[in-house]
Structure formats: structure tokens, C-alpha cells
């Protein structure tokens, strides 16, 4: 706690304070918009701020990133994007060091790959590296393009997973799921059952959008999940984030949906862009660490007689353990929950798991 207290003296650079304010006022919402805006801020940090070595740049990104992550802790994609950029800084520095100090040979030999862990200079980022800034900007532009195409990359796989005349169930509203189902319906007839996800009932919006796209859609209440599950062929859902063990932080109601699916042996497919993969483990179910409590007016009106004697809670998220998930579809392909740790290892550096 003492170390965190020292960091509160850090002044955010231009743009970060406005970004935090916009997120808190819900002017910016949606994981993709949050990730894209965070990446744009970090690109400005790399290109416009003054730094001479990769070590100084990593310290700058870590300080500003910690300020961001602590200000909006429940939007995990923000911290994920910061970690991804820090891994890119390390990779570009290492590749530049190989080019400049290994006689121009950028391809490491097998012996060097085995012994590079013992290289004393491998984790030394204090040396100036010419051309590092330009290389970083180019790499971050590639990542920005990747972010923009994640939705298309995931929906392009729809034909491989949804077959003709299948009955698909989903819950709540997810832009990725809507795009995925629309893409599948272009080439084959499907029927979708949407769980409304009370008390916010955002599933109604998804059902209306699919209906306008001429997809046969049925809207059901959360209580009807188990009753209709025996007829379902597949469950396709989105998620708020994917934890390090392959578990989900998903919209409330997803856990009961996954349990019902397991009882009837219905596969659960999760659409998860790589920017939602996070190297965070579930510690407990407390609100401050994992969940957010929403307004309970829709569940128990404040003016009702029962509200005087009753405590009502409206958690926004459920934890879904990895054993209830069948398959993840990312913008890079499909993976089992047991492979998530490997994807996270490729995206983030272990030293950056704790900002």
C-alpha cells in the first residue's frame, strides 16, 4: 500500500484524465472502443513524450497505465492493452538488440534460444537503441489494425461452428455474438433463443436486432433456461473478460446457463477477442475485487413495503469456471480453455502482470 501511495503523486499526461472522465460518464462504452482508445493514448505516449531508453519508456507506460487501471479497475481491457504494449516494447528492444549486437543476425540459433535465459543483458533495457521509436509506432499501428478487424475475424468463423437448422441459445446483448449470428444466417437457416438477462433485460435489444435481420428469434426469461435447454444444439455467448485459468467474468446469469448446458451436454462456445484475455486470477467473489453491484430498483422498488425490511443485491457479473466452457473462439482461431494460459503467455510479459 505504501508503494501505491507514492504513485498517486504522478500527474496523468494530456488525454488520460479526459479519457477516465468519459469512461465514468459512459460516453465511451464497449470493450473494443475502450481498448482502441487506450491504445491510441499509449501511441501518443510513445511518439510524443520524451524518453531515451526502453527502460524509461516502460517506467512511463507503467506509471500512466497504473493510474488508468486504478481509476477504472473494472474495465479490464484497459489494463490488458497496457500490458500488451509493454510486451511489444520489450520485444522490439530485444529484436533491435539482436540486430545491432549479434553481427546483424536476427534469427537466433537453437543454442542461443536455449541459453538466452542466462543472457545478462536480456532484461537490461537501459541502453539507447536507435530506431526503437519508429519500430514501436509501426508495431502499434499493426495492433490497431488488428483491433479494428477482430469482429470480422471472429464472425468469419461462424460457418465452421453453426450448421443448418440448429437452435442456438445466447444470453444478454453482445455485439460480437450479434455479428457472429448474422454472419451464420447469411448462408443457412438458424433459430436463436435469447435469454433476456433480467433485470437489465439487454437480451431484448439483441432479439430485436436479430428479428430485423430476418433471423427466427425467441426471447425467454431467465427462469425458462433449464426448461428449454434439452432442445438447444449450441450455446454461443460473449464475455466481459477471460481470466488466466480459462474462467469467465460474464454477465450475471451466465453461470446458471452454463450449469444447465452441462446437465444436458450442450456445448458452450465463448466469443473472446484476444484483448479480453487477462492474466488475472479470481481471488474471491467480493464486489471490490470482482463484481459490481447495480441498481436494485428494477428488482425491488424503493417505495415498496418489502424494501423497508429487505436487503437486495444486483451483481452485474458471474464467474464461470473453465470446466463449464467447451471452446473459445478468438480472432486468431479456436482454443480449448486449457490453452488460455499459453495465449496469455504470448500476449503479456510475466513482469507486467502486476502493473
Please report, for the domain that includes residue 324, its CATH number.
3.40.50.10470
| C-beta contacts of 286-294 below 8 A and 24+ residues apart | 287/315, 290/249, 290/317, 290/319, 291/315, 291/316, 291/317, 292/74, 292/316, 292/317, 294/199, 294/200
Whether residue 135 is predicted with pLDDT greater than 80 in this model: the reply is yes
Query: Mind listing the pLDDT tens digit for each residue in 71-91?
Result: 888 889 999 999 999 999 998
For residue 199, cis peptide bond before it (omega within 30 degrees of 0): yes
Whether residue 267 is predicted with pLDDT greater than 70 in this model: the reply is yes
My answer on whether 201 and 293 are in the same domain is yes
My answer on whether 140 and 178 are in the same domain is no
pTM across the whole model? 0.85
My answer on whether 81 and 194 are in the same domain is no
* Pick from 233, 227, 224, 163: nearest CA to 196: 224
CA 318 to chain centre: 15
| pLDDT score at 289 | 61
Query: Mind listing the pLDDT tens digit for each residue in 291-303?
Result: 788 888 878 888 8
* Pick from 81, 82, 38: nearest CA to 60: 82
My answer on whether 201 and 58 are in the same domain is no
Number of domains comprising the chain: 2
Task: State what percent of residues in the chain have pLDDT above 90.
Answer: 54
Any domain includes 151: no
| pLDDT score at 161 | 93
| pLDDT score at 1 | 37
Any domain includes 203: yes
| pLDDT score at 5 | 43
Phi-psi region of 87 (alpha: psi -120 to 50; beta: other; left: phi over 0): alpha
My answer on whether 226 and 339 are in the same domain is yes
| pLDDT score at 204 | 94
Whether 182 contacts 210, CB under 8 Å: yes
Query: Mind listing the pLDDT tens digit for each residue in 2-14?
Result: 344 444 567 777 7
91-95, 269-273, 291-295, 340-344: least confident range: 291-295
| pLDDT score at 99 | 54
My answer on whether 92 and 170 are in the same domain is no
What's the sign of the alpha-carbon dihedral 338, 342, 348, 350?
positive
Whether residue 51 is predicted with pLDDT greater than 90 in this model: the reply is no
Whether 300 contacts 306, CB under 8 Å: yes
More confident residue, 43 or 102: 43
| pLDDT score at 96 | 76
| pLDDT score at 110 | 55
As a dihedral over the C-alpha atoms of residue 296, residue 301, residue 306, residue 311, rounded to 10 degrees, the angle is: 20
pLDDT (mean) for 34-46: 92
pLDDT tier, 323 (very low <50, low <70, confident <90, very high otherwise): very high
* Pick from 36, 23, 140, 135: nearest CA to 72: 23
Whether residue 95 is predicted with pLDDT greater than 60 in this model: the reply is yes
Instruction: Tell me the CATH number at 45.
Output: 1.20.120.420
Whether residue 64 is predicted with pLDDT greater than 60 in this model: the reply is yes
pLDDT tier, 270 (very low <50, low <70, confident <90, very high otherwise): very high
Structural domain for 321, as ranges:
162-352
More confident residue, 259 or 1: 259
Whether residue 285 is predicted with pLDDT greater than 70 in this model: the reply is no
| pLDDT score at 50 | 86
For residue 82, what is the enclosing H or E element?
Answer: helix 76-101
Q: Where are the alpha helices (H) located in 128-199, listed in sequence order?
A: 132-148, 150-155, 158-161, 175-185
CA–CA separation, 320 vs 309, rounded Å?
Answer: 32
Instruction: Give the Cα-Cα-Cα angle 154, 248, 283 (nearest 5 degrees).
Output: 145
Query: Mind listing the pLDDT tens digit for each residue in 142-175?
Result: 999 999 999 999 999 999 999 998 999 999 999 9
| pLDDT score at 121 | 59
My answer on whether 285 and 344 are in the same domain is yes
Any domain includes 119: no
* Pick from 7, 122, 118, 121: nearest CA to 69: 7
My answer on whether 138 and 210 are in the same domain is no
My answer on whether 275 and 316 are in the same domain is yes
pLDDT tier, 106 (very low <50, low <70, confident <90, very high otherwise): very low
Phi-psi region of 301 (alpha: psi -120 to 50; beta: other; left: phi over 0): beta
Query: Considering the chain, what is the average pLDDT of its residues?
Result: 86
Whether 184 contacts 214, CB under 8 Å: no
CA–CA separation, 167 vs 344, rounded Å?
Answer: 32
191: which strand partners? 167, 216
The secondary structure of 206-268 as a DSSP string is: HHHHHHHTT-EEEEE-GGGHHHHGGG-SEEEE--SEE-TTS-EEEETTHHHHHHHHHHTT--E
My answer on whether 138 and 199 are in the same domain is no
What's the sign of the alpha-carbon dihedral 301, 305, 309, 310?
negative
Q: How far is CA 9 from CA 2, 18, 58, 67, 354, in A?
A: 12, 18, 18, 10, 19
pLDDT tier, 48 (very low <50, low <70, confident <90, very high otherwise): confident
My answer on whether 224 and 80 are in the same domain is no
DSSP helix/strand/coil, 354: coil
**Domain-ending residue, one of 146, 179, 207:** 146
**Domain-ending residue, one of 146, 179, 204:** 146
Any domain includes 194: yes
Amino acid at each position: 500500500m505504501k508503494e501505491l501511495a507514492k504513485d498517486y503523486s504522478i500527474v496523468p499526461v494530456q488525454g488520460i484524465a479526459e479519457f477516465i472522465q468519459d469512461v465514468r460518464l459512459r460516453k465511451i462504452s464497449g470493450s473494443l472502443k475502450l481498448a482502441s482508445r487506450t491504445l491510441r493514448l499509449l501511441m501518443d505516449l510513445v511518439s510524443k513524450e520524451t524518453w531515451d531508453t526502453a527502460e524509461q519508456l516502460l517506467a512511463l507506460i507503467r506509471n500512466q497505465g497504473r493510474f488508468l487501471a486504478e481509476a477504472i479497475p473494472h474495465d479490464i481491457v484497459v489494463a490488458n492493452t497496457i500490458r500488451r504494449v509493454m510486451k511489444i516494447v520489450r520485444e522490439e528492444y530485444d529484436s533491435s538488440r539482436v540486430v545491432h549486437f549479434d553481427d546483424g543476425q536476427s534469427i537466433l540459433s537453437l543454442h542461443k534460444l536455449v541459453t538466452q535465459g542466462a543472457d545478462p543483458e536480456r532484461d537490461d533495457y537501459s541502453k539507447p537503441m536507435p530506431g526503437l521509436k519508429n519500430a514501436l509506432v509501426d508495431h502499434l499501428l499493426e495492433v490497431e489494425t488488428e483491433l479494428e478487424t477482430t469482429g470480422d475475424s471472429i464472425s468469419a468463423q461462424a460457418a465452421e461452428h453453426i450448421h443448418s437448422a440448429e437452435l442456438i441459445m445466447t444470453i444478454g446483448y453482445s455485439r460480437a455474438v450479434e455479428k457472429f449470428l448474422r454472419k451464420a444466417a447469411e448462408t443457412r437457416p438458424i433459430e436463436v433463443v435469447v435469454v433476456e438477462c433480467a433485470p437489465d433485460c439487454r437480451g431484448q435489444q439483441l432479439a430485436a436486432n436479430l428479428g430485423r435481420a430476418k433471423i427466427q428469434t425467441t426471447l425467454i426469461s431467465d427462469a425458462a433456461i433449464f426448461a428449454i435447454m434439452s432442445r438447444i444444439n449450441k450455446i454461443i455467448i460473449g464475455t466481459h473478460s477471460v481470466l488466466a485459468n480459462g474462467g469467465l467474468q460474464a454477465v450475471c446469469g451466465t453461470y446458471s446457463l452454463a450449469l444447465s448446458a452441462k446437465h444436458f451436454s450442450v456445448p458452450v462456445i465463448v466469443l473472446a477477442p484476444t484483448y479480453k484475455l487477462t492474466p488475472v486470477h479470481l481471488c474471491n467473489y467480493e464486489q471490490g475485487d470482482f463484481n459490481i453491484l447495480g441498481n436494485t430498483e428494477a428488482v425491488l422498488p424503493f417505495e415498496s413495503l418489502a424494501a423497508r425490511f429487505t436487503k437486495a443485491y444486483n451483481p452485474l457479473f458471474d464467474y464461470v469456471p473453465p470446466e463449464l466452457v467447451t471452446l473459445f473462439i478468438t480472432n486468431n482461431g479456436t482454443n480449448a480453455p486449457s490453452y488460455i494460459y499459453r495465449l496469455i503467455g504470448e500476449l503479456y510479459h510475466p513482469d507486467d502482470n502486476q502493473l
